Amino acid sequence: MNGKVYIVGAGPGDVGLLTVKGLKCLQRADVVVYDFHLNAQVLNYISHDAEFIYAGKRGGQHDMTQDRINQTLVEKAKEGKIICRLKGGDPFVFGRGGEEAEVLVDEGIEFEVIPGISSSVAAAAYAGIPLTHRAYSSSFAVVPGYEDVTKKESSIDWARLATGVGTIVFLMTVKNIEQVCKKLTENGRKADTPVAVVRWGTRADQTTLVGNLTTITDLVKENEIKPPAVMIVGDVVKLREKLKWIEHKPLFGHRVLVTREHSSGFELLEELGAEIVEFHTIQIVPPDDWSELDAAIDKIDTYNWLIFTSVNGVKFFFRRLRERDRDIRDLKGVKICAVGSKTAKIISAYGINVDLVPQQFNAEGLIEAFTVGRDKPDLQGMKILLPRAEIARETFPEKIRKLGGEIDVFTAYKTVKPEVHGKRMKRFLKAGKISIATFTSASTFNNFIDIMGDDSLDLLKDVTIAAIGPVTAQAIENAGLTVSIMPGRATVDDMVEEIKNWGFHNKTRENRS
């Protein structure tokens, strides 16, 4: 039996603008055929092994011709696979989605179209320009701007378009902008009609120029605006100065690199205008050998304290507890300590009360929590189980043993360097597209340097670096780089708060200048 093809619009660039239905399709696809003009971060939402086929389609230079794309969709569908044909914007707005759908019909292959948000609408909205407004325009048209306007027979009725529509949106028009402006004025549009050109609309490097039909061409040349860009013609452009909402956000224009496996916790930065770029430099996996932790689980009732220093430690411990045919009832009488509010929260989700959360979320905070209030820091008779990462600081275990306590430190999980290549990330760094790099452990930094290769330190020299705590900062500074952002407590929430403060400070300084 044939498979099925979903022709999906990925939106204009901001991954948050991908529709829920499009996301569901992406997550269940066997094959993803995707274009250049979409945010590749959307591919991170695929949690299983899928085949990725890059179709290119960048500024007229195609890695695959349209005929070859059509053929690929047919071939993969006839193999019985679910294909997600992922296109920037909306597939039926100058996206050749209709042509691809025709081929599928001719081949008897089932398909479905999942609309996306077109850049014609989104770029204007993110620039603070409503396409319609009762005081300025009650109609709009979307027109391709790449057509050779000098040819005798044009598919565009310039006479009607120039004066018959309130707002005109031109897509892919940078190369022809001078001729387009000329055609409009020649056909009756006033020369002083406001015009905006929005490059990379909805992305971190969104740039907006405002002029009129007489001046916009020179402005585009002076500012070296290249595709992709959207041109908006009409009186609604006058509203931009009042409505340019996203540019007031403190982190607008910033791309934040997240190097850990999951970017949860960094969402606030997106609310503040930043674009999150995930590049995982560590992967969390089970240990090679469970024997030590298994032995501890089998005698869990002999421990006074069970300490969790991370969310991963909690998840892997309880997963193994279940695999050993045990459950939370076996923890009766064992006190629970959680390092960090998020760790405590996930423990509570298992229906277990947390007895102790240190004020400092590190080894020093743990030591203080277990010794404060004692006349003598004597831990004789105390038995502690600490399931944690394979590689971690020994400060706390050593201190407990010195004070007479007994502590078993066993591996519940380990971090490994994933099999990834850094070509795209190198391009981003070389082009100055990353402004903040975050590292949540020494491993995330060291693996990043290893993946990037010989010029890794040079690539980061102009990037603001945020470290989650002093151990991570030390690893970064030992490599010769400067840490500019570090929270007082070693949590993602606190690091995000410091990045937010950094953004507000820089925004204020920018406004003053």
Q: So where are the chain's domains?
A: 4-117, 121-246, 255-282+418-512, 286-414
Distance from chain centroid for Cα 359: 31
Q: Is the pLDDT of residue 60 over 60?
A: no
Determine the Cα–Cα distance for residues 469 and 466; give it in Å rounded to an integer.
9
- Each residue of 71-92: pLDDT tens digit? 999 999 999 999 999 999 999 9
221 among known catalytic residues: no
**% residues pLDDT > 90 (the chain):** 74
Nearest by Cα to 352 from 369, 370, 327: 327
pLDDT at position 72, please? 96
Where do we find the tokens 């001729």? 179
What does the mean pLDDT of the chain come to?
Answer: 91
* Catalytic residue (one of 4, 14, 90, 172): 172
- Each residue of 257-315: pLDDT tens digit? 999 876 678 999 999 999 999 999 998 999 999 999 999 999 999 999 999 988 999 99
238 among known catalytic residues: no
Higher model confidence: residue 152 or residue 19?
Answer: 19
Q: Identical fold at 255-282+418-512 and 286-414? A: yes
Q: Is the pLDDT of residue 450 over 70?
A: yes
Determine the Cα–Cα distance for residues 505 and 103; give it in Å rounded to an integer.
54
| Residues 6+ positions from 271 with CB-CB distance below 8 Å | none
Which backbone phi and psi does 243 adopt, to 5 degrees? -110, 10
- Phi/psi class of residue 283: alpha, beta or left (left: φ > 0; alpha: ψ in -120 to 50)? beta
Nearest by Cα to 395 from 418, 377, 368: 368
Cα separations in angstroms, 460 against 6, 173, 336, 439 = 39, 35, 41, 12
**Number of other CB atoms surrounding residue 293 within 10 Å:** 22
Determine the Cα–Cα distance for residues 101 and 70; give it in Å rounded to an integer.
9
Q: Quick one: tokens of 173? A: 């028009």
* Catalytic residue (one of 4, 14, 35, 507): 35
pLDDT at position 400, please? 86
pLDDT category at 498 given cuts 50, 70, 90 is: very high
Contact 469, 486 (CB under 8 A): yes
Nearest by Cα to 66 from 107, 98, 40: 98
Q: Is the pLDDT of residue 19 over 90?
A: yes
The sign of the torsion formed by the CA atoms of 182, 186, 189, 193 equals positive
- Each residue of 315-359: pLDDT tens digit? 999 999 999 999 999 999 999 999 888 899 999 999 999 999 887
| DSSP assigned state of 262 | -
pLDDT at position 376, please? 54
Q: Quick one: tokens of 268? A: 């606030």
Q: Quick one: tokens of 507? A: 């925004």
Q: Is the pLDDT of residue 454 over 60?
A: yes
**% residues pLDDT > 70 (the chain):** 95
Class of domain 255-282+418-512: alpha beta
pLDDT at position 147, please? 76
% helix / strand / coil in the chain, to the nearest 5? 40, 20, 40
425 among known catalytic residues: no
Q: Where are the alpha helices (DSSP H) in 324-403?
A: 341-349, 363-371, 395-402
Q: Is this model's pTM higher than 0.75 or not?
A: yes
pLDDT at position 143, please? 95
**CATH code for the structural domain at 286-414:** 3.40.50.10090
| DSSP assigned state of 154 | -
Residues 115-135 have a mean pLDDT of: 97
Where do we find the tokens 């250049």? 36
CA angle, residues 393, 398, 399, in degrees to nearest 5: 110
Q: What are the residues facing 437 on neighbouring strands?
A: 257, 465
* Catalytic residue (one of 4, 57, 76, 342): 57
Q: Is the pLDDT of residue 446 over 70?
A: yes
Contact 209, 216 (CB under 8 A): yes
Q: Which one is the CATH code of 121-246: 3.30.950.10, 1.10.645.10, 3.50.30.30, 3.40.1360.10?
A: 3.30.950.10
pLDDT at position 418, please? 86
- Each residue of 358-385: pLDDT tens digit? 877 677 778 888 876 555 556 788 899 9
Q: Where are the alpha helices (DSSP H) in 300-390?
A: 311-323, 341-349, 363-371
414-431: b (≥16 Cβ within 10 Å) or e: bbebeeeebeebbebbee
The crossing angle, in degrees rounded to 10, of helices 423-430 and 442-452 is 90
Class of domain 4-117: alpha beta
Residues 139-163 have a mean pLDDT of: 86
Distance from chain centroid for Cα 186: 45
Determine the Cα–Cα distance for residues 274 and 302; give it in Å rounded to an integer.
49
Q: What are the residues facing 140 on neighbouring strands?
A: 167
Higher model confidence: residue 183 or residue 36?
Answer: 183
Residues 132-145 have a mean pLDDT of: 96
Q: How far apart are the first and last CA of the chain?
A: 65
Of 59-63, 131-135, 143-147, highest mean pLDDT: 131-135
pLDDT category at 207 given cuts 50, 70, 90 is: very high
Q: Is the pLDDT of residue 59 over 70?
A: no
How many helices, marked H, and strands, marked E, lie in the chain? Answer: 19, 19
Q: Quick one: tokens of 228? A: 């992709």
